[in-house]
């Protein structure tokens, strides 16, 4: 009994650390609706800043934190003012991807400066001291300090928001950004101050993290997930809710570690998913959090007359627009009626001439066009290129084929992520879940069920789609940027669950037996045709399979976007409310595209790990290898276009081939490149070229084009 009491007490104290992680995230989201994917990496960065100050001035961690706080305050203010503010009015995707790029830059910069070695903020005897509570129960001094720090930070933030002048600006901006601007509040300054204050909270969290455990440059994403889970469980915008959410996660992890040390992180994630199913709005969603609570008195005193004037201006403007629309509609209706009545009386030419000018008798002035001249030339060229690619194994070696397999599989992954996020508006950072599941399914079906490896690929896709269906019912309870991180948490759950299966190699993974890899369907025929060994024949078959998947992916996406489902996806991406008002079933459409892309991603993952012949949980469910790179490809090439991923994957391959040997500098360059493109060319390289030169290779939109004869007549 005493052991369990100690376990619960340790979990309670651990929850204080998670609440510190979450407090800054909750503050930022509550005021400016920004989810910072670099939040966890900022915590690690702050810990290294404190460590550097300790070593430079030979001081303790508490004094070093006091010195670090103003530095981090300035860093947060500058980043928000100069970088993040430029992305806030462009939807959820730009800030999400910019902070994702910052995350990659911070991680690799820390690796370059401090190496991958673990560090610790040494605080002396306080690290090992404990306070006995009687009955064999004790609590560590550092752990108790963490919990009291969390409570103190939340009290200070609540006082700042509810009892100060700047807090009134925070609440006014959070409640109604437009009205706050009309009152004279500079929202960009407010947002910069919010991020700066959040960075000071991050400094406190980094202090407690460094005194309690070792840290290294790569642990930031895990801290972000814990913070996110605490925020969701507690309720968006509720600072006290983050404390409760952090404590629940901490207790769940402590109980899991008590049952089995390998279950610690998994039980915390499962507790989050259970809370998401039972109460997706959070435990404290019924009360407005500190970051979202309106101040009626402030708004009444500051802007009552200004609001009335604004409303009257909008009413007058709306009346003018409505009158103009009625006049235009009446004129068009009158012209159409005149044309329709004159079709049988010989007056058609006179009516049409009055409406459209001189035109040939009986000729339509405009036509609807989908296919363009450039797309016709592409179709003719694509056939020849495809034939060349199919015959390529005759002319090139295994090294080139392996490079092409990588390019083709990444293209397929990028096209499906583009369909999901660029057209469906479902920005997922967890598609590595289905890559990993597809890889493990191909191992399970071939090794344990004896299915032919090549024939198992579509089966793996069906299994991945089957898993995606209940997964969607959970993650669809989240919206916007929180949906993105929710998918990431789900991928982590899959990784931890797969690691529990010893039949699949556990945490270390497994390799495909040679007998399985050398008995792929058609391998004997390929060996005979090309006069090669079994390993080379397997590479040729894998290359053809990757080519078929890539071409099929582009064709499938093109046909979908040309259909009514494509129109529904575009409508949902632009406005869910508007899409619902015109008859689109938002939930079914999003569920359909999520499951289909998951199944297809599972097929690609199966092919990837069939080719690798080696799999492990950390590699198969890597967010960097299978989601970060894919996002980079789509964003750089041009999100929301079929041509963009093709351009992006070619550019990515060139950069990787020429710069990968630079290691961390290469990854930092990718992150910086993604940020610059999102800031200055948010539509990507192809989007810029398409808009500048009016080029369309895969036409999916209908255009109203004036006939050539009509142009000559007019």
Q: According to the model, what pLDDT value does residue 348 have?
A: 41
Q: According to the model, what pLDDT value does residue 353 have?
A: 43
Q: According to the model, what pLDDT value does residue 433 have?
A: 96
**CA 119, CA 206: separation in Å to the nearest integer?**
12
Kindly provide the b/e burial profile for residues 76-88, where b requires at least 16 CB atoms within 10 angstroms of the residue's own CB. Answer: bbebbbeebbbbb
Q: According to the model, what pLDDT value does residue 112 have?
A: 92
What's the pLDDT tens digit per position in 502-536?
Answer: 888 888 888 888 766 666 777 888 888 888 888 88
Cα→Cα distances 98→65, 87, 153, 223, 573, Å: 27, 8, 28, 19, 20
Q: According to the model, what pLDDT value does residue 155 have?
A: 95
How many CA atoms does the CB half-sphere of 634 hold within 13 Å?
28
- 9-116+124-294 belongs to which CATH class? mainly alpha
Q: According to the model, what pLDDT value does residue 369 have?
A: 56
Which residues on adjacent β-strands are paired with residue 615?
510
**CA 27, CA 40: separation in Å to the nearest integer?**
15
- Say if CB 631 and CB 637 are below 8 A apart: no
Place of tokens 């489902």: 565
pTM of this structure: 0.83
Q: According to the model, what pLDDT value does residue 179 have?
A: 80
Closest CA to 392 of 412, 377, 407: 407
Q: What is the DSSP letter of 448?
A: I
Place of tokens 């999400």: 96
Q: According to the model, what pLDDT value does residue 497 have?
A: 93
What's the pLDDT tens digit per position in 205-232?
Answer: 999 999 998 999 999 999 999 999 999 9
Tell me phi and psi for residue 544, to 5 degrees. Answer: -60, -40
Which residues on adjacent β-strands are paired with residue 130?
140
Q: According to the model, what pLDDT value does residue 664 have?
A: 86
Q: According to the model, what pLDDT value does residue 282 have?
A: 84
Residue ranges covered by each domain of the chain: 9-116+124-294, 300-357, 395-625
What's the pLDDT tens digit per position in 361-390?
Answer: 444 555 555 656 666 666 677 788 888 999
Listed as ranges, residues in the chain with pLDDT below 50 are: 286-316, 318-319, 322-323, 325-363, 711-714
Q: According to the model, what pLDDT value does residue 701 have?
A: 63
Q: According to the model, what pLDDT value does residue 61 have?
A: 95
Place of tokens 């600006």: 169
């Amino acid at each position: 009994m005493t052991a369990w009491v100690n376990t619960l007490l340790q979990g309670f104290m651990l929850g204080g650390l998670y609440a510190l992680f979450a407090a800054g995230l909750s503050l930022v989201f509550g005021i400016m609706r920004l989810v910072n994917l670099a939040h966890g990496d900022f915590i690690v960065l702050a810990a290294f800043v404190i460590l550097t100050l300790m070593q430079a001035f030979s001081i303790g961690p508490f004094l070093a934190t006091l010195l670090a706080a103003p530095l981090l305050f300035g860093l947060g203010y500058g980043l928000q003012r100069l970088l993040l503010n430029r992305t806030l009015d462009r939807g959820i995707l730009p800030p999400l991807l910019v902070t994702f790029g910052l995350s990659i830059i911070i991680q690799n910069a820390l690796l370059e400066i401090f190496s991958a070695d673990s560090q610790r903020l040494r605080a002396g005897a306080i690290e090992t001291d404990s306070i006995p509570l009687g009955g064999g129960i004790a609590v560590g001094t550092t752990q108790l300090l963490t919990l009291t720090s969390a409570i103190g930070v939340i009290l200070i933030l609540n006082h700042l928001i509810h009892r100060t002048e700047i807090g009134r600006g925070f609440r006014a901006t959070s409640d109604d950004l437009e009205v706050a601007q009309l009152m004279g509040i500079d929202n960009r300054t407010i947002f910069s101050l919010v991020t700066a204050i959040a960075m000071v909270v991050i400094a406190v969290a980094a202090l407690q993290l460094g005194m309690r455990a070792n840290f290294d440059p790569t642990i930031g994403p895990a801290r972000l997930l814990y913070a996110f889970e605490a925020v969701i469980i507690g309720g968006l915008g509720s600072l006290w809710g983050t404390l409760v959410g952090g404590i629940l996660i901490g207790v769940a992890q402590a109980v899991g570690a008590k049952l089995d040390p390998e279950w610690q992180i998994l039980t915390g994630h499962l507790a989050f998913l259970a809370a998401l199913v039972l109460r997706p709005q959070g435990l404290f969603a019924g009360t407005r959090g500190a970051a979202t609570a309106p101040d009626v008195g402030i708004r009444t005193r500051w802007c009552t007359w200004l609001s009335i004037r604004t409303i009257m201006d909008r009413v007058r403007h709306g009346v003018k627009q409505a009158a103009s629309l009625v006049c235009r509609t009446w004129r068009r209706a009158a012209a159409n009626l005149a044309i329709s009545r004159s079709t049988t009386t010989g007056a058609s030419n006179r009516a049409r001439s009055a409406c459209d000018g001189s035109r040939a008798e009986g000729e339509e002035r405009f036509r609807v066009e989908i296919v363009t001249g450039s797309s016709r030339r592409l179709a003719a060229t694509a056939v020849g290129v495809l034939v060349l690619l199919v015959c390529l194994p005759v002319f090139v070696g295994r090294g080139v084929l392996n490079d092409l397999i990588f390019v083709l599989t990444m293209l397929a992954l990028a096209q499906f992520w583009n369909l999901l996020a660029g057209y469906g508006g479902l920005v997922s950072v967890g598609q590595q879940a289905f890559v990993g599941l597809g890889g493990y399914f191909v191992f399970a079906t071939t090794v344990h069920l004896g299915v032919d490896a090549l024939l198992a690929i579509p089966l793996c896709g069906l299994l991945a789609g089957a898993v995606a269906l209940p997964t969607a019912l959970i993650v669809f309870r989240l919206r916007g940027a929180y949906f993105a991180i929710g998918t990431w948490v789900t991928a982590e759950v899959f990784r931890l669950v797969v690691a529990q299966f010893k039949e699949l190699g556990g945490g270390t993974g497994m390799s495909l037996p040679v007998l399985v890899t050398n008995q792929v369907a058609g391998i004997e025929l390929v060996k005979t045709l090309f006069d090669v060994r079994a390993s080379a024949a397997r590479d040729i078959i894998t290359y053809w399979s990757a080519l078929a998947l890539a071409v099929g992916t582009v064709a499938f996406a093109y046909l979908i976007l040309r259909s009514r489902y494509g129109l529904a996806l575009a409508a949902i991406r632009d406005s869910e409310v508007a899409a619902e008002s015109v008859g689109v079933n938002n939930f079914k459409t999003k569920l359909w595209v999520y499951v289909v892309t998951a199944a297809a991603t599972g097929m690609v993952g199966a092919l990837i790990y069939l080719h690798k012949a080696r799999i492990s949980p950390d590699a198969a469910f890597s967010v960097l290898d299978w989601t970060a790179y894919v996002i980079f490809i789509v964003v750089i090439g041009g999100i929301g276009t079929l041509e963009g991923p093709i351009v992006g994957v070619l550019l990515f391959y060139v950069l990787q081939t020429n710069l990968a040997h630079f290691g961390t500098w290469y990854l930092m360059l990718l992150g910086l490149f993604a940020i610059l493109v999102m800031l200055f060319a948010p539509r990507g390289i192809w989007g810029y070229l398409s808009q500048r030169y009016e080029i369309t290779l895969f036409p999916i939109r209908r255009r109203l084009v004036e006939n050539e004869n009509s142009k000559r007549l007019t």
